[in-house]
Amino acid sequence: AQTVTQSQPEMSVQEAETVTLSCTYDTSENNYYLFWYKQPPSRQMILVIRQEAYKQQNATENRFSVNFQKAAKSFSLKISDSQLGDTAMYFCAFRGLVSGNTPLVFGKGTRLSVIA
Amino acid sequence: EPEVTQTPSHQVTQMGQEVILRCVPISNHLYFYWYRQILGQKVEFLVSFYNNEISEKSEIFDDQFSVERPDGSNFTLKIRSTKLEDSAMYFCASSGKRGAPYNEQFFGPGTRLTVL
């Protein structure tokens, strides 16, 4: 079974600074997807960024980028120019490609606080 | 932009009572899911549904739980006899629009269930 580990329960960053959230996972599959979800106080789950395992190029979405190290099974999220609105829980998630509706496996999350 | 909706946003019930949580997935999506998040913990998969039947379920999804797609638009989660430990945020998600990349799962805003 796949597992996702986020080793940082809480982090804080000054506004406009850069922060990196860590995620490691364990799987025997070769092709899969990785995701970062943001959960603000409203509790809505919002997709931040995704990465396909067969793509070597790291995904980037505006201020959000990932460092995907497939051999190390590591998938960290970098937030540049942090904004107060980035304050939220961040969940790393894994999805295999066994079938079209393989469920997501989530890590325990990292609570990020952006400080003015 | 289409979105997944869930009702109610908050449900309070007495232990032993039945509850039905409702979701309207994104139109023309093919796969439907329920996840739950106990306060302060990670998001956990409950069940996935495709072609009018359960395609996968977790250990959490025992005989007290059932899912249904009664009318082609709603997707419901029923808990027959609620327990205190069922108190959680329940998220519905859908995916599988034909031709969409990643088979991204779109989450609803969640229903907070409180069992007293």
Tens digits of residue pLDDT in B60-74? 999 999 999 988 789
- Kindly identify which residue of chain A lies nearest to residue B42, measuring between CA atoms: A108
Q: Which residues of B touch A (CB under 8 A)?
A: 30-31, 33, 35, 37, 41-45, 48, 50, 55-56, 58, 89, 91, 93, 95-96, 102-107, 109-110, 112
Largest CA distance in chain B: 44
Q: Do B55 and A108 touch (CB under 8 A)?
A: no
How far is the alpha carbon of B14 from chain A, nearest alpha carbon, in Å?
23
pLDDT in tens, B44-93: 999 999 888 999 999 999 999 999 998 878 999 999 999 999 999 999 99
> What CATH number should be reported for the domain holding residue B18?
2.60.40.10
Question: Residue B101 above 60 pLDDT?
Answer: no
More confident residue, A86 or B3: A86
Question: Residue B98 above 60 pLDDT?
Answer: no
DSSP A44-80: --EEEEEEETT--SPPEETTEEEEEETTTTEEEEEE-
First to last CA, chain B: 37
CATH architecture for segment(s) A3-115: Sandwich (2.60)
Q: Are the C-beta atoms of residues A22 and A7 closer than 8 Å to each other?
A: yes
Provide the phi-psi class of B13: left if phi over 0, else alpha when psi is between -120 and 50, else beta. Answer: beta
Looking up tokens 């120019």 gives A81
β-strands A19-21, A74-79 pairing: antiparallel
Give dist(CA A97, CA A38) in Å, integer.
23
B11-39: average pLDDT: 94
Q: Are the C-beta atoms of residues A46 and A37 closer than 8 Å to each other?
A: yes
Give dist(CA A59, CA B80) in Å, integer.
43
Question: Residue B104 above 90 pLDDT?
Answer: no
Residue B85 structure tokens? 């430990």
How many CB atoms are closer than 10 A to CB B52?
8
Domain ranges of chain A: 3-115
Residue to mutate among B9, B42, B57, with most A CBs inside 10 A, is B42
Q: Do B104 and A50 touch (CB under 8 A)?
A: yes
Residues on chain A touching B107 (C-beta within 8 angstroms): 37, 44-46
Q: What three-state secondary structure class fits B103?
A: helix
Domain around B73: 5-98+105-115
Give dist(CA B94, CA B104) in Å, integer.
8
- Indicate the residue of B30, B45, B107 with minimum beta-carbon distance to A45: B107
β-strands B10-13, B19-24 pairing: unpaired
Residue A99 DSSP class: S
- Kindly identify which residue of chain A lies nearest to residue B109, measuring between CA atoms: A44
Q: Which residues pair with B43 in a beta bridge?
A: B37
Residues on chain B touching A104 (C-beta within 8 angstroms): 35, 43, 45, 105
**What pLDDT sits at residue A31?**
87
Question: Residue B99 above 70 pLDDT?
Answer: no
Question: Residue B100 above 70 pLDDT?
Answer: no
**What pLDDT sits at residue A101?**
73
The one-letter amino acid code at A31 reads: N
**What pLDDT sits at residue A86?**
97
Q: Do B110 and A43 touch (CB under 8 A)?
A: yes
Phi, then psi, of A2 in degrees rounded to 5: -80, 145
Q: Which positions of chain A have pLDDT values less than 70?
A: 98-100
Q: Are the C-beta atoms of residues A6 and A22 closer than 8 Å to each other?
A: yes
Q: How many CB pairs under 8 A join A and B?
A: 63
For chain B, how many structural domains are there in total?
1
B98-106: average pLDDT: 70
- Indicate the residue of B42, B50, B107 with minimum beta-carbon distance to A108: B42
